[in-house]
Amino acid sequence: MQFPGRRKKLIGSSQNDLYDHCLQFYGQPPLENISLTEFETFAVERLKLLKTVENLGVSCVKNSEQYTKKLDAEISSLNFPQKAELSEQKVQGGISEYEKRRKDHISHFILRLAYCQTEDLRRWFIQQEMDLFRYRFNDLHSKHKTDFLHKNNLKYETVSAEEKKSLQDKLIASSYGLSGTKVEEHDVYKVPFQDALDLVRTRKVYLLAGNAYIPHHEIVTIVLNDFRTRLSKALAMTARSLPAVQSDERLQPLLSHLSHAYVGQDYSIQKNIGKISLEQIDALSGKSFPLCMRHLHKALRENHHLRHGGRMQYGLFLKGIGLSLEQALQFWRSEFVKGKVDADKFDKAYAYSVRHMFGKEGKRTDYTPYSCMKVILSNPPSQGDYHGCPFRHSDPELLKQKLQNYKVSPSGTNQILELVKGMHYQLACQKYFELTHNVEDAGFSLNHPNQYFTESQKLLSGGRDIKKEVDMSQRSQENPASVTRPSQANSKQAHEEMGDLDSFFQDE
């Protein structure tokens, strides 16, 4: 059916329907055809955006002025939607708002293909998409928020005026930024607490008889919950239909590169197994371990014991630096036996979990050493624990003492504490690296304890000179792994395409 004139009009009206709100739930996949170039560009640019979302989430307080400014800038420079109204005039030579929304839509669905395959990838993707969605929803005017709820059929039960009045004081005491007038004038929603977990977890909401009472301005959390549930289900479904997509030779190399190159090295594949002897560990802990692992090692030596969280974080780190299973068993057993655990009990109770870490028990998943992000954000330590990130989880006073004990200069300690105050935990650890290794510039961007160790060893064995050389060699080490995967006739062509893509992945 080729009726150019009429066709244009049709597209015109469906355009308005499809992208009439700047925010969407990504319920419907795109139905149009796009070029391979657009496919690649869209995917890569969204990935850059999500990567920025991730970085800002760790280095700034979410929704602070700094966070907002930086994210705004990135969204703008990558041409993602920002304006609430479609009818905003197209900037001279720029891209229309409509086109930005289209890109938003399509790029999300492409990344679903790349990030649906494993639990870790899915978790990462959902986390960043949620943070991005939260940011964009909060940016909307109240009217547009309500519009969004209506358009997406999100009906939440509202609380009656009498109930609002009787609970007024309690509501004000539980919800941030709520006043008496706000309670009277705006809706308060009542949802089962299971639908408001983020607010429950942080105790930012009033609970009564199993219901959470959400003021209008907090409705984003409920919407986010919905968003997460839908996206999670959708990714599971996508994973099932993935084989069909992967068989397309044009797409497979790109999708594979997307999911590997950006999430970074995970130290899951052991290199240098057995190169380190157990006798070296004490010395290494002082020279080349990041503070968290040095702390854990010390606690283990002193108490001859570590609780589960500490065993996992430290044990996997040791695996990452190259300890073999036999060495690990010997290491843990010799230490625990000095404490209250006899060799028999160790073999029965603890050996199992060491083997588990190496993938020799149970699900036989080879557990990967924790990245800084994981250590900082999950499983905070409680009474009797020594794991976590000292820059994040220790009292500043105690941290200061510890740094002084480790002979860090007072000025250096202050620099570190300033970074900690600004919540730049990984930068603080990097500074610790610089101070303990006596270098001006660490020469790398710290995001993994094992990376700290590798870089330290490199430095101490005189294995590098200038920052740039290392970055280059690191990158060329990572890429061949993902490029050699598609062993097909047109792999040469894929290789050439890879060349172009590499330039997209340069770090700032």
Partner 1 sequence: TAGAPSSAWACLPDLLPLYYRRLFPFSQYYRWLSYGGVSKNYFQNREFSFTLKDDIYVRYQSFTTQNELEKEMQKMVPYKIDIGAVYSHRPSQHNAVKSGTFQALEKELVFDIDMTDYDDVRRCCSAADICSKCWTLMTIAIRILDRALREDFGFHHLLWVYSGRRGVHCWVCDDAARKLSVAARSAVAEYLSLIKGGEETVRKVVLSDPIHPFINHSLSVVERYFCQYAIVEQDILGSKESVDKVLALLPEDILSFPVVLSQYQYFTSRYQYQSNFTILSEIMLQYCYPRLDVNVSKGVNHLLKSPFSIHPKTGRISVPIDLKELNTFDPFEVPTISLICEELERPRADEAEDDDVKDKENEQEAGERRRIRDYKRTSLAKYVKVFDRFLEAMARSRKGEMLQKSDLQKDF
Is the CB of 209 or the CB of 489 nearer to partner 1? Answer: 209
Q: Does 206 bind partner 1 (CB under 8 A)?
A: yes
Q: Does 200 bind partner 1 (CB under 8 A)?
A: yes
The CB-of-223 to partner 1 minimum distance in angstroms stands at 16
- Mask 316-345, x = binds partner 1 (CB under 8 A)? -----------------------------x
Work out which of 24, 107, 128, 211 binds partner 1, going by CB under 8 A. 211
22 in a known ligand binding site: no
Give residues 296-315 in contact with partner 1 (rule: CB under 8 A): 299, 308
Contact (CB, 8 A) for 115 and 123: no
Task: Quote the DSSP letter at residue 247.
Answer: T
Sheet holding 188-192, edge to edge: 188-192, 211-215, 206-208
Q: CA separation (Å) from 151 to 14, 23, 88, 104, 171? A: 16, 11, 21, 18, 28
DSSP codes, 347-376: IIIIHHHHHHHTT-STT---PPPPPHHHHH
Q: Which stretch binds partner 1 (CB under 8 A): 36-44, 76-84, 376-384, 489-497?
A: 376-384
389 in a known ligand binding site: yes
116 in a known ligand binding site: no
Q: Does 210 bind partner 1 (CB under 8 A)?
A: yes
Is the CB of 200 or the CB of 263 nearer to partner 1? Answer: 200
* Termini Cα distance of the chain: 49
Q: Does 384 bind partner 1 (CB under 8 A)?
A: yes
Beta bridge partners of 191: 212
The CB-of-200 to partner 1 minimum distance in angstroms stands at 5
Work out which of 90, 170, 271, 360 binds partner 1, going by CB under 8 A. 170
Work out which of 118, 160, 202, 473 binds partner 1, going by CB under 8 A. 202
Q: Does 19 bind partner 1 (CB under 8 A)?
A: no
Helices 97-115 and 252-261 pack at an angle, to 10 degrees, of: 80
Among residues 142, 408, 199, the alpha carbon closest in space to that of 286 is found at 408
Residues near partner 1 (CB under 8 A), total? 37
Q: Distance between CA atoms of 478 and 260, rounded to whole angstroms?
A: 9
Q: Does 399 bind partner 1 (CB under 8 A)?
A: yes
Structure-token match 């930068």, residue found: 427
Radius of gyration of the chain (CA): 26
Q: Does 386 bind partner 1 (CB under 8 A)?
A: yes
Work out which of 81, 253, 290, 381 binds partner 1, going by CB under 8 A. 381
Is the CB of 208 or the CB of 237 nearer to partner 1? Answer: 208
Q: Which stretch binds partner 1 (CB under 8 A): 181-189, 314-322, 390-398, 403-411?
A: 390-398
Task: Quote the DSSP letter at residue 249.
Answer: T
Q: Does 36 bind partner 1 (CB under 8 A)?
A: no
The CB-of-505 to partner 1 minimum distance in angstroms stands at 33
Is the CB of 102 or the CB of 311 nearer to partner 1? Answer: 311
3-state SS string for 461-500: CCCCCCHHHHHHHHHHHHHHHHHCCCCCCCHHHHHHHHHH
Structure-token match 């597209």, residue found: 11
3-state SS string for 78-112: CCCCCCCCCCCCCCCCCCCHHHHHHHHHHHHHHHH
Give residues with Cβ within 8 angstroms of 111, minimum separation 6.
43, 46, 47, 50, 125, 258
Q: How many CB atoms lie within 10 A of CB 23?
A: 21
Q: Does 243 bind partner 1 (CB under 8 A)?
A: no
Work out which of 253, 320, 390, 486 binds partner 1, going by CB under 8 A. 390
Residue 432 is which amino acid?
Y
Q: Does 365 bind partner 1 (CB under 8 A)?
A: no
Is the CB of 18 or the CB of 199 nearer to partner 1? Answer: 199
Q: Which stretch binds partner 1 (CB under 8 A): 90-98, 242-250, 389-397, 420-428?
A: 389-397
462-477 burial, b if ≥16 CB within 10 A, otherwise e? Answer: eeeeeeeebeeeeeee
Give residues 52-111 in contact with partner 1 (rule: CB under 8 A): none
Phi, psi of 192 (to 5 degrees): -55, 140
Q: Does 394 bind partner 1 (CB under 8 A)?
A: yes
Q: Distance between CA atoms of 237 and 231, rounded to whole angstroms?
A: 10
Give residues with Cβ within 8 angstroms of 36, minimum separation 6.
250
Contact (CB, 8 A) for 273 and 324: yes
Q: Distance between CA atoms of 12 and 8, rounded to whole angstroms?
A: 6
Is the CB of 275 or the CB of 360 nearer to partner 1? Answer: 360
The CB-of-207 to partner 1 minimum distance in angstroms stands at 4
Contact (CB, 8 A) for 189 and 213: yes
The CB-of-350 to partner 1 minimum distance in angstroms stands at 13
Give SS3 for 341: coil
Is the CB of 173 or the CB of 283 nearer to partner 1? Answer: 173
Work out which of 109, 156, 193, 504 binds partner 1, going by CB under 8 A. 193
Residues that bind partner 1 (CB under 8 A): 170, 172-174, 193-194, 197-198, 200-203, 206-211, 299, 308, 345, 348, 380-386, 388, 390, 393-395, 397-399
Binding residues for [4Fe-4S] cluster: 292, 372, 389, 429
